[in-house]
Structure 1
Amino acid sequence: MNMSVLTPPRLQVEPGFPLRLSPGLGELSLEADFAAIRALIDERLERDGAVLLSGFAADGVEGFQRFAAAFGHPLLNYEFGSTPRSQVDGKGVYTSTEYPAHRSIPLHNEQAYTTEWPMRIWFYCARAAASGGETPIADSREVFRRIDPALRQRFADKRLMYVRNYGNGLDLTWQQVFNTGRRDEVEAFCRPRGIHCEWNEDGDLRTRQLCQGVARHPRTGDWVWFNQAHLFHLTNLDPEMQEILLDTVGEEGLPRNVYYGDGTPLEADALAHVRGVLDECEVVFPWRTGDVLMLDNMLTAHARKPFSGERKVVVAMAEGVSGDTLPTTL
């Protein structure tokens, strides 16, 4: 496929968050006009954090896959995932998180609960919902600035310990998360990443991993709030579900939980403060069928609103980053 053009088309740029890019003249497509689109994204994405491409012909999911892959980095597999996704037509393209339509998904940076994550993430709206279903975003630099300085320093100094128990009908099985049914392959994946594995006599798995609470972007130098403590912590569940789980499996058996890196508990009021800051920073915009949203995953968090009617949004990720190579202490 030829992704270049001789004469770059005129593109219309609308400032804001996200930066909005649309055809300025005539009908343009993501593929035929890729050179001009990429030049603008290369210039603006790490400044603005998010670019919404709206009004371009996309040629469906396959065209979206080719568009994302054309940026020059192989599309990543969804490994060590925390939510259910399915691969769709096109290598490296997955459904967005498969949660019930009536539930919202809070703001988060993709895979910030581990030490490896994608730097680039694309969303393609193959079908906009009849109502709702937006993908809100938030500037992770602004979130970092608004977090109470003492809490921000505590997260940086202590870091975070994520604990996961797989299966038991309560969460994803370890076979789903690691894409294998072999224990030795799970251990081989976890060992170099500092993920501690514990197998019980029933063959169930518990993992623990020490991760960053904040991080510094490797190219812009910006500090960002970069973790999923507010999602993994027990307080993310409603009080009734918290009580049921604690009575059923106890704290050690919770499907997922998070502590400070030294094993001490996170404060409920601290997490309430984090959720409040995220709410303050949330920006919501409507999807149109055919839209593509491109994010710098470290600079911009994303979420999902409840919806009604059929909705199809798929995702691709690229340019893996290792947190072990980045500053995570202020």
Structure 2
Amino acid sequence: MKETLTIEGGPLVLTPSDTRDLPKALTDHREEVDTRLTEQGAVLFRGFDMTTPEDFARFGRAASAARLDYTYRSTPRSTVTDGVFTTTEYPADQEIAPHCENAYQRTWPLKLAFFCQTPATTGGETPLADLRAVTAALDPDVLDRFETRGVRYVRHYRPHIDLPWQVVFQTDSREGVAAYCADHGIDHTWLDDTTLRTAQTSQGVAYHPRTGERVVFNQAHLFHVSNLPPETARALTSLYGPEGLPRNATYGDGTPLAPEELAAVRDAFAAAMVTFPWEAGDVLLVDNMRMAHARRPYEGPRKVLATLMDSYAPREREGLKGGRTR
């Protein structure tokens, strides 16, 4: 593969040299790609023969023997083929804020990949934000509080509000929900016949397993009520009360998160974001603990798929500084 371009603050672009078969090229140049992924945080493969979801599934199998399912979901998506899913199915006029995949969970993918089968007519980019820059922009006291207290995510599942619990847990069985929650340290309570409440305390920061760097790693800025438009937040609070919101987040010990601290987190992500245009056939490989990703609004058809790879649970890694999960 040939290095053709490094987008400043964004992905390294690699193009074909000896073969246009991306899974084969990845296998042949695995050490080089792994090194560059650690250095750069994201690698964009462009100009290879990638046209179908099945092509992308082959890439996923070549990139990792350990791909993940989307369980305990926070956004709507659909399974396309083996280990391949749609990206978040929000309306085209909505922006998806920068985040690291599954950072609200205690276990997350170390890597993920996106495949642009059809770029949007206008917009629809997948911006990236280097977590080192985001973390450096935050008050160290805030990072220390995130580390020592963690983040507690509270969700209420009701009919016709947010995602149904059946979609989130990928089961129609209450027993299945109970088993999943027991296995993953999630408190769950049925408040009535149709209302499920869950709560889980997860990490606020994490330490990269290869570089040892501390990075902010949570989704408090997305789950907290301050992320909603003010009129929506007021309406939901009036309807369900502050303790019954569809989603909210606090510090792990129950201490409220200050809206101004979360605003600073959002500002840090926004300042670090780098955007590049999608081309049909592009595959973007991302280090999920180095780069956050987002989505711009768009017009026209857009089909971008995703796959998750290499599950990581720092609480199980002995000797990892700061690696425990609360």
TM range (shorter): over 0.9
Which residue pairs with 1:122 in the alignment?
113
Q: Given the alignment of the two structures, is residue 197 of structure 1 paired with residue 184 of structure 2, yes or no?
A: no
CA pair 151-143 structure 1, distance change in 2 beyond 3 A: same
- SS of the equivalent of 1:31 reads helix
- Counterparts of 1:25-44 in structure 2 under 5 Å? 28-44=20-36
String of CA shifts for 1:273-306, please: whole Å, max 9, x gaps. 1111111101111100110000011111000000
How far residue 37 of structure 1 moved from its aligned partner, in angstroms, is 4.2
Alignment equivalent of 1:57, drawn from 49, 52, 56: 49
Between the aligned partners of 1:84 and 1:115, the Cα distance in structure 2 is 20
1:4 matched to which residue of 2?
Answer: none
Counterpart of 1:14? 5
In the TM superposition, what are the counterparts of 1:83-94 in structure 2 within 5 Å?
83-88=75-80, 90-94=81-85
8 Å Cα contact 2:26-2:33 kept in structure 1? no
Which residue pairs with 1:69 in the alignment? Answer: 61
Q: Indicate conservation of the 8 Å contact 1:156/1:329, yes or no.
A: no
AA partner of residue 73 (structure 1): A
- The alignment's TM-score, normalised by the length of structure 2, stands at 0.94
Q: How does 1:170-319 map to 2 (within 5 A)?
A: 170-319=161-310
- AA at the equivalent of 1:107: P
Partner of 2:38 in structure 1? 46
TM-score of the superposed pair, with normalisation by structure 1:
0.93
Range with greater deviation from structure 2 (185-194 or 320-329): 320-329
Tell me by how many angstroms 1:328 deviates: 3.6
Contact map agreement 1:117 1:322 (CA 8 A) in 2: yes
Once residues 224 and 286 of structure 1 are traced to their aligned partners in structure 2, the CA distance between those partners, rounded to angstroms, is 27
- Please tell me whether the aligned partners of residues 153 and 199 of structure 2 are also in contact (alpha carbons under 8 angstroms): yes
How big is the shift at 1:33?
A: 2.6
**Whole-angstrom CA distance in 2 between matches of 1:327 and 1:103:** 38
Q: Is the 8 A contact 1:19 1:50 kept in 2?
A: yes
For residues 178 and 318 of structure 1, do their structure 2 counterparts lie closer, same or farther at Cα, with a shift above 3 Å needed? same
Q: Is the 8 A contact 1:12 1:24 kept in 2?
A: no
- Letter aligned with residue 228 of structure 1: Q
Q: Indicate conservation of the 8 Å contact 2:64/2:309, yes or no.
A: no
| Conservation of the 8 A alpha-carbon contact between 1:31 and 1:58 | no
**Equivalent residue number for residue 164 of structure 1:** 155
Task: Report the residue type matching 2:204 in the other structure.
Answer: G
Q: Equivalents in 1 of 2:165, 2:148: separation in Å? A: 30
- Counterpart of 1:40 in 2: which secondary structure? helix
**8 Å CA contact 2:66, 2:311 repeated in 1:** no
SS in 2 for 1:20: strand
Query: Is the contact made by 1:52 and 1:291 (CA closer than 8 Å) also made in structure 2?
Result: yes
Aligned length: 319
Q: By how many angstroms is 1:39 displaced?
A: 3.3
2: CA distance between counterparts of 1:226 and 1:274?
11
Please tell me whether the aligned partners of residues 12 and 23 of structure 1 are also in contact (alpha carbons under 8 angstroms). no
Q: CA deviation at 1:60?
A: 1.4
The Cα RMSD (Å) is: 1.6
Instruction: Report if aligned partners of 1:30, 1:37 keep a CA contact under 8 Å in 2.
Output: no
Letter in 1 for 2:91: P
Distance of 1:116 and 1:83 partners within structure 2: 17
Partner residue in 1 for 2:144? 153
Distance 1:329 1:93 in 2: 29
Consecutive unaligned residues in structure 1, runs of 5 or more: 1-9
